[in-house]
Copies of this chain bind each other. A is one copy, B any other.
Amino acid sequence: MRAAIIGGTGYGSIELIRLIHQHPYLEVGTVVSNSQAGNNFSDSYPHLSEVIEQPLEKFDAESIAKNNEVVFLATPSGVSSNLVPQLMETGIKCIDLSGDFRLRSAEQYETWYKKRPASHEYIKQAVYGLSEIYPEKVKTASLLSNPGCYPTAATLGLLPILKTNLADKESIIIDAKSGVTGAGRGLSLTSHYAEINENIKAYKLGAHQHIPEIEQVLSDESGSPITVTFMTHLAPMNRGIMCTMYLKLNQKIPTKEVVELYNEFYKNKPFVRIRPVGVVPSTKEVQGSNYCDIGLHADERTNRLTVVSVIDNLVKGAAGQAIQNANLMFGWDEQSGLNQLPIYP
């Protein structure tokens, strides 16, 4: 099955190509990059030389639909809201990696993204593809909205405890650290090597566009409106997100029981791994893979629970989860093309 990729020269596309190249049922189809149309792909990305040698194309919904069976959109926010309707009209299934179809509320989208929202009709149709939580809905989706990188790490780490009454739902603090690929390949001083290397930087104080997405999922699933404190940091590395999350516990509970709770919650979910008591994962332990690894510590002294959740932002936080969703949508094994071990070290 041929997969078109739109937004062809960003890191999200490159990662999609890496994963599709190893997928048993998918192959790279049309690659669209309006800015670089006509150029050969491996001119921008010589690491693909002799493997993915094809010209980048201009966007053309008809032609995409004719030559491909599925479309991945890995475009900046504000782009796929325009492209998806044209594609959907042709009947092709769309998997959108941007934020354009994640928020049910158009007002929220405008507030946080400062862009015009997608049309109501398509927002309504879009299925939010947090694969471990909504597998049944994903299976029937025509328009799949792939979760953000931070929301994936945060919600997978928080949902098991929030679905109980063990924690104070008003106490959630998420301290997130990300590698620099999260900011994409676009040039800016905050991605400039000399500024980021040997540095930790907090950014977007209380204003990150992933906040409403996290709150939407947590509120939906916990059954009550949830507000979180969410702070993002840039760390001097390429890949990886760690969310260190803090919740007040309503009662004393040993770490061991929390670990069991999480293991139970994710027992048939191959991509979520819970560490044993006393161990928390580091970002390198999921590098290049689709895993979300979670460690837990219930502190007796402070009666707070710390949850450490890590993903590779380009895999489980973007392209990997998109493939996982495609697998569900097309009825394939959820792990098809995603069984690579983390690359270590």
Binding site for B on A (CB under 8 A): 11, 14, 17-18, 21-22, 45-52, 173, 175, 177, 179-181, 185, 187-189, 191-202, 205-206, 227-229, 231, 233, 235-240, 242, 244, 246, 270, 273, 275, 278-289, 293, 295, 297, 299, 301-302, 304, 306, 308, 310, 339-345
Contact = CB atoms under 8 A, between A and B. Distances in A.
A278 to B, nearest CB: 7
Contact of A200 (B185, B283, B306, B341): B283
A231 B280 CA distance: 12
B246 A198 contact: no
Contacts of A175: 175, 244, 246
A181 B343 CA distance: 13
- Copies of this chain assembled into the complex: 4
Contacts of A280: 202, 205
Contacts of A284: 47, 195, 198-199, 201
Given A185-B194, A229-B306, A246-B246, 20 more contacts: A14-B345, A18-B341, A46-B285, A50-B270, A177-B200, A180-B193, A187-B189, A195-B284, A199-B237, A199-B282, A199-B345, A200-B235, A200-B283, A202-B242, A205-B278, A205-B299, A206-B301, A229-B302, A235-B236, A340-B340
B295 A202 contact: yes
Contacts of A181: 194, 345
Contact of A22 (B199, B227, B339, B345): B339
Contact of A193 (B177, B192, B202, B244): B192
A343 B14 CA distance: 9
A297 to B, nearest CB: 4
A345 B283 contact: no
Contact of A240 (B179, B192, B199, B231): B199
Contacts of A191: 192-194
Contacts of A231: 244, 246, 306
Given A344-B18, A345-B194, A345-B238, A49 B273 contact: yes
A205 B297 contact: yes
A299 B229 contact: yes
**Across the A-B interface, the 10 shortest Cβ-Cβ residue pairs:** A199-B284, A175-B175, A47-B285, A201-B282, A187-B187, A205-B297, A47-B342, A206-B299, A194-B345, A180-B193
Contacts of A289: 47
Contacts of A275: 46, 49
A177 B180 contact: no
A180 B194 contact: yes
